[in-house]
Structure formats: C-alpha cells, structure tokens
Amino acid sequence: MSEAATTLPVERPQAPDEPRSGIVLVGQPNVGKSALFGALTGSYVTVSNYPGTTVEIATGATVLDGNKVAVIDTPGAHSFNPMSEDERVTRDLLMARPAEAVVAVGDAKDLDRTIALALQLNEMQLPYVLCLNMMDEAKQRGIGIDHAALASELGVDVVPTVAIQRKGVPQLRSALTAPRAGTIHVRYPAHVEHAIERITPLVPESHVSARALALMVLSGDETLAGWIRARVPAAARAAIEDVRQELRRDFREPLRYVVNQARYRMARDIASRVVSRREQDRRHPLGEWLDRVTIHPLWGIPFLAAALYLVYQFVGVLGAGVFFGALEAGAGAMQRDAGIPAVWVIAVEALVILAVLAMLGATLIARRRR
C-alpha cells in the first residue's frame, strides 16, 4: 500500500464552504449516463483526463432554477469499492468534494444492480436522484416498475427516463433542485455491524458518512489507504486494522464479498417488491438458483469441476473415441470406394462437427443474455 496508491487530493482537507462539484452522473457502464449528460448540458462540453490517470471525464453545465451548475459525466462503475481505474476515478470524484447532487443512472431492465448501486449512495449519505433509464426497452420486455414505491423504499426521488428521446429529462431537472440523502440502509451480518460500530469513531470527518467509510475500510479497499493515512493518526489506523483482521477471521469468504452479498440481497428484495413482469418473461426458479450457486466462490467450484468433467467426457471419450473411430471407418470406406484421400474426409467431417458445436454454444450464450 503506497502513498501514490491514491488519486484523491490528499493534501487538501475538506473545508465546509468549499465549492461543490456540481451534478455528478454515476452508474454502471452502458446505462445511458453520457446520453443523459448530453440531454442535460447541450453542446458545450470539456473533456479532460482525471488528474494522474488516463481516464476521461466530460464536464458541461446546465441551468437549474436559474442557477448555472457544472455537470460531470463519470466512467462506468459497478460499485464504489473500486476494482478498476474507472471505478476508482468515479469513487474519488464522489469523495474529493461534495456534489450539488448525484444522479444515479440505472438500466430499468436491470433493477437489482441499479438498486445495489443506489443503496451504496444511501450508505454514503450523498444527496441524489435515481434515474431509471432505458424505460423504452424495459416496457418492450414487459417489465413494469412502480417507481413511486421504489422512491418511498429508498427515500429519494426516482425518475423514469428514455435519455435518447429526452423523455423524463424535465422531471429529472426538477427533482435535481431538491436532492435527498436516502433513508433505507443495508443491514450487514451482526459481526460486521459490530465492527462498523468500533470503526466509525476512528474514520475522518467527511461529507461521506462514517458508516460508508468504515465499510470501505473493512472491505479492504487498498485504493483508500493514502487518503486514510493523510487523515487518520497512526494509533487509530492500527486500531482499525486490528478490528479488520479480527472480522476477517469470522468469515470464510473475503469481507468484500460478504458486504456485497448483503447489498445484493437487499437490492433483490426491494426490486421484487416494485417490479412486475409479464408471466412469460419470468425466469424459472431453477435458473435463478443455478445463476447464484454457479458464481458463488465456494459452491461454484464443484459446479466448475462437474462442467470440466462433462466436457472431458464429451470431447475425450465420446468425441475422440466414438466419433473419430466412426470417422476413420467412414473415411476408410470412402477412400476405398471413391478414391478420396482419408485426411480430406476427416477434415470436412470435423469441420461439420465444430460448426454444430459452435452453433449450440452461440444459442446457449444468447439464451443466457436474454
């Protein structure tokens, strides 16, 4: 963990009257952040690299309630516990100084993930508006969202939009004049909650809540190390690290995973209460269960092993043994009857088999993406 590991302006402690950064658009990749940014700002846009990185940030301006405010488009982020440079820049932008308002942009077709990100903003206690974009595609798929119910669950304004048609943009503008910090909070397993209680008095003053900072530190977010070092005395840092190590021993999975699990569980619960689907679009419960268990860090392993074994059986035993045996026999016969060289017959037959397998694979992938 080196000092250079942070891109946050560590030398500049937060002054209470510091100018706010304006309106910051955040969300997963490809949810329509840039389209909304365009709808809000028009054509006067500056693109620059975020200090110390090659990540590009677009800045423009808009007028809200007669006041000109900056609007910032950020790179896509699945979470504010960064795993990539893009995610880190977005997290740093949120932490460097308070925003006038955050716009959490989400894909209405992917409500679980949208809500999971919103819950992190609730945790950080940043004032925001949740924008459910791509409502056109959601409707086409028969997904209906009770956005008023979602708004009261989260405690913030929720605005459905179709950014490319500028639908909902006036409503978004009006919600942005009075953004709120969310009211509902993720409950973590008791051990985690206890660790949060012990760490919150030790984290620095910030416009981001102490609870969120405590969770970032507990999740082992090393990109925050420099920021913490610049603000927390050595003794307190050692105390924080002790709590973290103790908590690590309470779980088999990494703490980051434990924290994410709790967030997603709550996001799914909320989504299930506010979303309605046409019957044919509902996924089979077995499919949902398989989805979850196959990506689990522990239970995923036997599934992977079983899948590899099946592939081995298919390719090694059935493919090499049975098929090629038959191919060789067929090729031998053809060679005898028509004088075609055996390698040609085998090559053509192998190509046909590969094409069939590729088509099967493509069909399976397309089905999963749907």
Ligand X SMILES: Nc1nc2c(ncn2[C@@H]2O[C@H](COP(=O)(O)OP(=O)(O)O)[C@@H](O)[C@H]2O)c(=O)[nH]1
The binding site for Mg ion (CB under 5 A) comprises: 33-34
Residue 140 or residue 272: which is nearer to ligand X going by CB?
Answer: 140
Residue 34 or residue 261: which is nearer to Mg ion going by CB?
Answer: 34
Q: Name the binder of 133 from Mg ion, ligand X, none, CB < 5-8 A by kind.
A: ligand X
Residue 72 or residue 162: which is nearer to ligand X going by CB?
Answer: 162
Residue 160 or residue 226: which is nearer to ligand X going by CB?
Answer: 160
Find the distance separating the first CA and the last CA of the chain, reported in whole Å: 41
Question: How far apart are alpha carbons 295 and 307 in whole angstroms?
Answer: 13
Q: How far is CA 198 from the centre of its chain?
A: 28
- Least distance CB 41 / Mg ion (angstroms): 13
Residue 33 or residue 207: which is nearer to Mg ion going by CB?
Answer: 33
Footprint of ligand X (CB under 6 A): 27, 29-35, 76, 133-134, 136-137, 162-164
Q: Name the binder of 138 from ligand X, Mg ion, none, CB < 5-8 A by kind.
A: none
Q: Which two tokens stand for residue 67?
A: 């006041």
Question: How far apart are alpha carbons 159 and 180 in whole angstroms?
Answer: 13
Q: Name the binder of 137 from Mg ion, ligand X, none, CB < 5-8 A by kind.
A: ligand X
Q: Name the binder of 267 from Mg ion, ligand X, none, CB < 5-8 A by kind.
A: none
- Least distance CB 355 / ligand X (angstroms): 32
Q: Name the binder of 110 from Mg ion, ligand X, none, CB < 5-8 A by kind.
A: none
Answer whether 118's CB lies under 8 Å from 132's CB.
Answer: no
- Least distance CB 36 / Mg ion (angstroms): 9
- Least distance CB 103 / Mg ion (angstroms): 13
- Least distance CB 84 / ligand X (angstroms): 14
Residue 129 or residue 228: which is nearer to ligand X going by CB?
Answer: 129
Residue 34 or residue 53: which is nearer to Mg ion going by CB?
Answer: 34
Q: Which two tokens stand for residue 319?
A: 């493919």
- Least distance CB 33 / Mg ion (angstroms): 5
State the DSSP H helix or E strand holding residue 72, giving kind and residue range, or none if neither.
strand 67-73
Q: Name the binder of 45 from Mg ion, ligand X, none, CB < 5-8 A by kind.
A: none
Produce one character per residue of 75-88: b if its CB has 16 or more CB atoms within 10 Å, e if not.
bbbbbbbbeeebbb
Q: Which two tokens stand for residue 227?
A: 């920021």
Q: Name the binder of 158 from ligand X, Mg ion, none, CB < 5-8 A by kind.
A: none
Residue 43 or residue 67: which is nearer to ligand X going by CB?
Answer: 43
CA angle 86, 89, 90 (to 5 degrees): 90
Question: How far apart are alpha carbons 2 and 10 in whole angstroms?
Answer: 13
Alpha helices for 157-254 (secondary structure H): 169-176, 190-199, 210-218, 225-231, 234-250
Q: Name the binder of 32 from ligand X, Mg ion, none, CB < 5-8 A by kind.
A: ligand X
Residues in the chain: 370
Q: Which two tokens stand for residue 202?
A: 């030790």
Question: How far apart are alpha carbons 118 and 154 in whole angstroms?
Answer: 8
In order, the DSSP letters of 326-370 are HHHHHHHHHHHHH---HHHHHHHHHHHHHHHHHHHHHHHHHHHH-
Give the closest residue to 259 by CA, choosing from 198, 183, 182, 188: 188
- Least distance CB 253 / ligand X (angstroms): 30
- Least distance CB 161 / ligand X (angstroms): 6
Give the closest residue to 47 by CA, choosing from 73, 11, 86: 73
- Least distance CB 99 / ligand X (angstroms): 17
Q: Name the binder of 31 from ligand X, Mg ion, none, CB < 5-8 A by kind.
A: ligand X
Alpha helices for 232-294 (secondary structure H): 234-250, 255-274, 285-294
Residue 164 or residue 350: which is nearer to ligand X going by CB?
Answer: 164
Question: How far apart are alpha carbons 301 and 309 in whole angstroms?
Answer: 12
Cβ-proximal residue to Mg ion, closest one: 34
